[in-house]
């Protein structure tokens, strides 16, 4: 059981994400993380612990952007290591952050495909990292997206 929040807005989302994770704290006390993005960059902070301990005012000011996701973790699989705290991030083919709650039933099969066929390096035993890399691999195959601002 984890808690996930996502916000897209015309205004900065760092404070609303923090407030949302605070409300969702009962869904996970192991780790907390926020990833935000502006038009050119992704910003992230995550650590083991409660939301109020992971994020201070100095951290929130660095989480710039008008879109973002937040995650509080209650581990049901994998470990409680900082490497498995979410959101998770990959930069290939371009920056992608993922917050995930659930269990994949074919994690080992996907892991083997990623490590052999797609040559993606996985750092943890987390099925969430596998899911993120499957998504990144598919986006890489499709090429750079063309986003319309209309």
Catalytic residues: 2
What is the maximal distance between C-alpha atoms in the chain? 43
> Which residues are paired to 98 by β-bridges?
88
The Cα–Cα gap between 133 and 136 comes to: 5
Task: Spell out the residues 6+ positions from residue 113 whose beta carbon is closer than 8 angstroms to its own.
Answer: none
The Cα–Cα gap between 126 and 66 comes to: 28
Q: Is-contact 126 88, C-beta < 8 A?
A: yes
The Cα–Cα gap between 78 and 51 comes to: 21
Written as six digits, the tokens of 143 are: 């090429």
Written as six digits, the tokens of 5 are: 């929040």
């Amino acid at each position: 059981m984890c808690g996930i929040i996502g916000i897209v807005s015309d205004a900065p989302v760092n404070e609303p994400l923090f407030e949302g994770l605070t409300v969702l704290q009962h869904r996970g006390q192991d780790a907390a993380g926020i990833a935000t993005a502006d038009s050119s960059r992704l910003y992230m902070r995550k650590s083991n612990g409660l939301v109020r301990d992971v994020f201070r005012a100095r951290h929130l000011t660095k989480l710039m952007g008008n879109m973002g996701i937040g995650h509080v973790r209650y581990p049901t699989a994998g470990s409680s290591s900082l490497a498995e705290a979410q959101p998770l991030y990959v930069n290939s083919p371009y920056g992608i952050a993922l917050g995930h709650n659930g269990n994949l039933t074919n994690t080992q099969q996907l892991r083997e495909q990623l490590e052999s066929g797609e040559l993606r390096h996985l750092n943890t035993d987390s099925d969430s990292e596998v899911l993120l890399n499957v998504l990144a691999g598919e986006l890489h195959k499709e090429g750079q997206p063309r986003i319309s601002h209309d």
